[in-house]
Amino acid sequence: MVAARILRLANSAAFGAPQQAVSIPQAASRLGASRLKSLLIEIGAQRVFSSQDPAINQACQQLWQHSLAVGFLAREFGTAVTGSERVAESGFLGGLLHDIGKPVVAGLLLDAERRLRGKAQRDWIVVNEWIEWIASVHRQVGIALAIRWGMPELVVNAIRNSKELDTSARHAATNFIVLGNALAKREGLYLGSYDQAANSALILEAQALVEGSAALLDEASQNLRERVTERLS
């Protein structure tokens, strides 16, 4: 599975190579060390966003789609505005992992439900309640997990707060993550409720801060859901 995904990404239109990579060394060379590392982390993190409970698993898949969308957008904005691979890949990883604590908390809640089942008349966890519960505690869990995995401080900061811009560093990767997070919500790739007016204002503020054009935002948002779906196939 891992080898197949490495080959598929290396041969995707994003790299535009005239010839197909037919081996892992060829694919790895085409991707480069930074992009290959990001892909391997993506494959590992995706396994966290799952559950044996059908309803919770569906919610986890929506969370993963949102995380992929934020990662894609942050990488594209970072590349277009700064031209820096370091900023782009840091933005991708930060976006990908900014909600990593949510499925972990879900697993803990499900385990608690299994232990208590039989003592109550109904299942303890309802998906809408689960969404509200994890929203209040997932960041602390995600931060601890990122530190355990040895993630860069930027990723830890992205988990700590993916909604607050860093005005002291215009082109910080965290700002591209904040912008990607807000745009993913606007495009409907989000699980839960949010303040649409505040989100729209944040998009405008982030766009001005990173000096990204409206055309860039529209281009990055185009076919976002389809790109995320393709990555999952």
pLDDT tens-digit readout, 130-158: 677 777 888 888 899 889 988 888 888 88
Q: What is the mean pLDDT of the chain?
A: 85
In the CATH hierarchy, which fold is given to the domain comprising 50-232?
Answer: Hypothetical protein af1432 (1.10.3210)
pLDDT at 58: 86
Domain ranges of the chain: 1-47, 50-232
* Angstrom distance (rounded) from CA 104 to CA 107: 5
8 A C-beta contact, residue 83 and residue 169:
no
- For residue 109, the Cα-to-chain-centroid distance in whole angstroms is 22
* 89's tokens: 């890949």
Q: What is the pLDDT of residues 195-225, one digit of tens each?
A: 999 999 999 999 999 999 999 999 999 999 9
Number of Cβ atoms within 10 Å of the Cβ of 231: 19
8 A C-beta contact, residue 63 and residue 127:
no
What would the mean pLDDT of 164-172 be, rounded to a whole number? 92
Q: What is the pLDDT of residues 44-95, one digit of tens each?
A: 888 888 877 787 788 889 999 999 999 999 999 999 999 998 899 999 999 9
Q: At 98, phi and psi to the nearest 5?
A: -65, -25
pLDDT band at 127 (very low <50, low <70, confident <90, very high): low
Helix (H) or strand (E) holding 61: helix 54-82
Q: pTM for this structure?
A: 0.85
Q: 223 exposed, middle or buried (CB, 10 Å; 0-12, 13-18, 19+)?
A: exposed
pLDDT band at 32 (very low <50, low <70, confident <90, very high): confident
